[in-house]
Chains A and B, each alone.
Chain A
Amino acid sequence: MSTLSADLRRAAATAPGKEALVAGERRMTYAELDAAASALAARLHALGVERGDRVAILLPNSIEAAIAIYGALRAGAAFVPLNPTIKADKLAYVLSDCEATAIVTDDQLAALAEEASGHAPSVRHTLRAEQATDARGARSCPAASVSWPGGARSRPAPTTTAGPINVDLAAIVYTSGSTGRPKGVTLTHANMMFAAGSIVSYLGMHVHDRVLCVVPLSFDYGLYQLLMCVRVGATLVLEKGFAFPGRVLELLEREEITGLPGVPTIFQVLASAGAGAVAHDLPELRFLTNTAAALAPTTIEAIRAAFPQARLYSMYGLTECKRVSYLPPEQLDARPESVGIPIPGTEAWIEDDAGNRLPQGGVGELVVRGAHVMQGYWNDPAATAERLRPGRWPWERELMTGDLFRQDDEGYLSFVGRRDDILKSRGEKVAPKEVEAVLHQADGVRMAAVVGAPDRMLGQAIVAYVVPHDGAQLQAAVLRRHCAQHLEDYMVPSRVELREQLPTTPNGKIDRRALAEDAAATPAAR
């Protein structure tokens, strides 16, 4: 029974009373999580959701989000995790693109879900998580029971109840594409089970682990924390975000956290906040993982000083295969800039433009093969063909990462740069075209170009250059506000620079390199 839902069933059968989830004051055991997932699956079936349907999940990190993921899977559906800061236009686009049948959300996000569903005819049901309340109306704790009101127009339950098998679609995870339109990465149970197993093996995760997840479950990094914990029967402590380092340090201690996944922004904040002051109280903390972008050497130093007992893993990956590589922690001193070796059970190498494997030291595109490689982009054969090409065997496809790497003489990989113009800010991918399209919708904008500037906290800060129409009175603050109303938080430009014209290249295109240099040279305004 090698499906994600079977992982949960096994964990619940092995240790029903074991703590599966902690969120704020609420705690849930594996037996409770398993029962809650089954209850939601039954509800979805009753509403007519069938095996293979897509169920969108619009929830912050919460017990309900975990139930929704396993409930959708148990119903035989594929889940589509969505960032809760998504705006209505994009949500409608994604729901239509994946032809979601149902959306699972909460009271706070229900209005957004309804607004977007109005433009997505496939969506027949909106379910809102409702925590069980006791007689006095207080939320019961532990909240073993969550009900799912909503979802009108009930249909007869499907006649077939056969569960999914591991070649079935398990999830579609949307990621920014360089065209500015999000692309749906399709992953089967086999893809996700393999990737989770591989990561579990190199981290040495086990049933006694307690992982603190402050990164969103809507992105694969957060999502896999849940999948991996359920795989090994460990405990996942969920936080809605990383706003208060004091809170995170308190949780590390109180919940006896053994693993903390983070991105550079998080580790930078922890380091600069002087986390070292309390680190000696954290004997349980065993591993820290970093991905999305490289840690600055000074941050590595500060983090290791603050958490001397924890092993720090530098990793690299992309949603299209979850993870490519990790650096064994004992190599960190020798190769601080490296993201290591391919994850167990996979291969990765570097090629030149003609497709020849490059010898050590050469710079070229990183190519990946293994059971973690996605099946393609949903509904987008052209984009799929750009990333996946025929592999060693007739049935196999290899992933062209689009990222430039170098390999040292012992095979360790180092990131060199991206081939496309996608930016990475706060560990999230940002397509300049997506931000530019939103800026173009604002009144008075004649031209807009978005570039990245190196930033200690963000990795790259998003900087927008805007040329107004003749006579238009534009204000940077108003344009940032416009962006905040139409883009996820991490895509909103840190700075908007108003110009009378933009530099161009000899063939008349906007000179993005010149703008990036300008952005890097101008000190951050905030």
Chain B
Amino acid sequence: MGDTEVGTGVRAELRAYIEEAFLYLHPDVELRDHDQFLELGVIDSLGFVELVEEVQTRYGIAVDALEITEENFGSLDALVAFVERRR
């Protein structure tokens, strides 16, 4: 814990979305920015489908299947880097 970042812009938006869409099911989980969603069990395979759709619509990014990887979608850090790179 401790290093949960508040952040601004994309990071804050994505954190808010993830809290609203996924984290409420896991009240005992404190998500840090580098935590792997899958490892923590907060987002499962269908969750990632939703997450990808959200990123596509919210930021107008066309995501190719090959890009749906842990490196791009696995954590909040990964997600922010991906969106900022592609926006």
Q: Is B10 an interface residue (CB 8 A)?
A: no
A480 touches B65 (CB 8 A): no
What DSSP secondary structure best describes chain B's contact surface?
Answer: helix
Chain A, interface residues (CB within 8 Å), range: 20 to 34
**C-alpha spacing A117/B45, complex, angstroms:** 29
Interface residues on B, range: 20 to 34
Query: A243-B44, A243-B45 given as contacts; is B68 within 8 A of A273 (CB)?
Result: yes
Whether B48 lies near A243 (C-beta < 8 A) is yes
Establish whether residues A244 and B25, one from each chain, have CB atoms under 8 Å apart when the complex forms. no
Chain A residues within an 8 Å CB radius of B3: none
- Known pairs A250-B66, A270-B65, A481-B26 / 5 extra A-B pairs, C-beta < 8 Å: A249-B65, A250-B69, A277-B65, A458-B46, A480-B24
The yes or no answer to B21 lying at the interface (CB within 8 A) is yes
- Tell me which residues from 449 to 491 in chain A have a Cβ below 8 Å from any Cβ of chain B: 457-458, 477, 480-481, 484, 489
Let me know if A150 is at the binding interface, CB within 8 A.
no
Q: Which residue of A lies closest to B28 (CB)?
A: A485
A residues whose Cβ falls under 8 Å from a Cβ of B: 85, 240-247, 249-250, 265, 269-270, 272-275, 277-278, 426, 457-458, 477, 480-481, 484, 489, 492, 526
Ordered by A's residue number, 13 sampled pairs between the chains whose C-beta atoms are within 8 Å are A85-B41, A243-B38, A243-B44, A243-B70, A244-B74, A247-B70, A250-B69, A269-B45, A272-B49, A274-B64, A481-B24, A526-B21, A526-B50
B51-87: CB near A (< 8 Å → 1, else 0) gives 0100000000000111111101110000000000000
Give me the interface of B with A, judged by CB distance under 8 Å. Answer: 21, 24-27, 38, 41, 43-46, 48-50, 52, 64-70, 72-74
A interface: dominant SS: helix
- The distance in angstroms between the C-alpha atoms of A277 and B62, with both chains bound, is 13
Across-interface contacts of A484 in B (CB, < 8 A) = 25-26
Residues on the B chain within 8 Å of A277, using CB: 64-66
Closest to B21 in A: A526
Residues in chain A near residue B66, CB distance under 8 A = 246, 249-250, 277-278
